Amino acid sequence: MALRTLDSLGDLAGKRVIVRCDLNVPLKDGVITDDGRVRASLGTLNTLINQGARVVVISHLGRPDGEVKPEYSLAPVAQRLSELLGKSVGFATETTGEATTEAVLAMTDGQITVLENLRFQAAETSKSDDERRGFAEELAKLGEAFVSDGFGVVHRKQASVYDLPQLLPSAAGSLIETELGVLDRLTENPERPYTVVLGGSKVSDKLGVIEHLLPRVDNLLIGGGMLFTFLAAQGHAVGKSLLEEDQLDRVRGYIAEAESKGIRLVLPTDVVVASGFSADADHETVAADAIESTSFGANGIGLDIGPATAQAFAEIVTASKTVFWNGPMGVFEFPAFAAGTKTVAEALTKVDGLGVVGGGDSASAVRALGFADDQFGHISTGGGASLEFLEGKKLPGLEVLGW
């Protein structure tokens, strides 16, 4: 079956259309620090508004765990959406209920209303099919059609992602279409050389994608906190650096597999080691196999790839035709340990082909470091969803849309 797209819903003028966006943006003191996901939702929303649909936007924000917590309110997001759309956006202070129903029924053609955080309701993320279904049925009463456009949540079996599209005529929005088009290019006959750059804190988060992609890529570059488990697997001491001892055997297997298949698995040759985990920690750059040789000894903690490694990674990335990058190279939130991530991001902007920033922390990193979205081939809005797709997993939120 093929993914159902907006066209399959026909003329939506005058109809109440519920749109599941992923507006899970970072907030600091009630202010959005990265509005990338809000901007990514504009394509579908503008299409529906221009058709004269009455648009009801639903999303989650953070993890309020089924409780109403003001710091996770979508009110600032509704305000930002209003600014970006250049029109008034309504905001319902409850997700469902009498007041919300009245507000939705009072909407006129082309109007848009954002409902309060879905995850203020425990049923949204419930493991119980009946509880999720009950919540989805309440939401379904508000609309006549459903558009799923929150790519960052399509790997979740949640009420608004999985159950709701089964209750109304449903289709994928343009953002999901775009994301799948890019991921298809990464998995079906990618242009070569094909390089995957993986970072972030844990190897265990990336095991599936390493396993699935290793036979398909030309180069696999390893940075971030996960690099220390690879170094330890080679017998090197890593001080107090992040280490997943239970993954050592598996990592050794990946190293051996890469060698046997002629795949370049590139590990750092130098790292930046700090006296502790803080922005102003003392730090030294040393060879990757000599982490405990710094003045911090066995108490040193690796917080970034070193400059020689960053340069080597950059050269491989710029020489590639297809690149997928997921996970920062170091603790980019601390300026002293952001250089590796910045160098790799800079290289990605120079790829003569398809360069993809794989969502999550990687997307936050490139924006925090001053890069513009249009400098990259694509910035994904879904880190976890992208990884699970690249692992070859079935994604519940896409299966219900015919994919």
Query: Binding site annotation covers 63?
Result: yes
Query: Binding site annotation covers 359?
Result: yes
End-to-end CA distance of the chain: 6
Active site residue 202: yes
Give CA–CA dist 286/98, Å, rounded.
Answer: 63
Query: Binding site annotation covers 360?
Result: yes
Query: Binding site annotation covers 24?
Result: yes
Query: Binding site annotation covers 362?
Result: yes
Give CA–CA dist 390/396, Å, rounded.
Answer: 15
Active site residue 208: no
CA angle 238, 243, 249 (to 5 degrees): 105
Active site residue 384: yes
Active site residue 360: yes
Cα–Cα separations (whole angstroms), residue 41 to 107, 289, 301: 20, 45, 39
Closest to 391 in 3D by CA, of 250, 246, 211, 248: 211
CA angle 293, 297, 298 (to 5 degrees): 115
Query: Binding site annotation covers 199?
Result: no
Query: Binding site annotation covers 45?
Result: no
Give CA–CA dist 159/117, Å, rounded.
Answer: 13
91 token code pair: 């905001």
Query: Binding site annotation covers 97?
Result: no
Phi, psi of 351, deg, nearest 5: -65, 125
Q: One of 264, 384, 393, 402 is an active-site residue; which one? A: 384
Query: Binding site annotation covers 37?
Result: yes
CA 333 to chain centre: 17
Query: Binding site annotation covers 22?
Result: yes
385 token code pair: 């969803």
Q: One of 157, 202, 216, 250 is an active-site residue; which one? A: 202
Q: One of 239, 330, 360, 397 is an active-site residue; which one? A: 360
Query: Binding site annotation covers 156?
Result: yes
Query: Binding site annotation covers 378?
Result: no
* Binding region for substrate: 22-24, 37, 60-63, 119, 156
* Binding region for ATP: 206, 302, 333, 359-362
* Binding region: 22-24, 37, 60-63, 119, 156, 206, 302, 333, 359-362
User: Mind telling me the catalytic residues?
Assistant: 37, 202, 360, 384
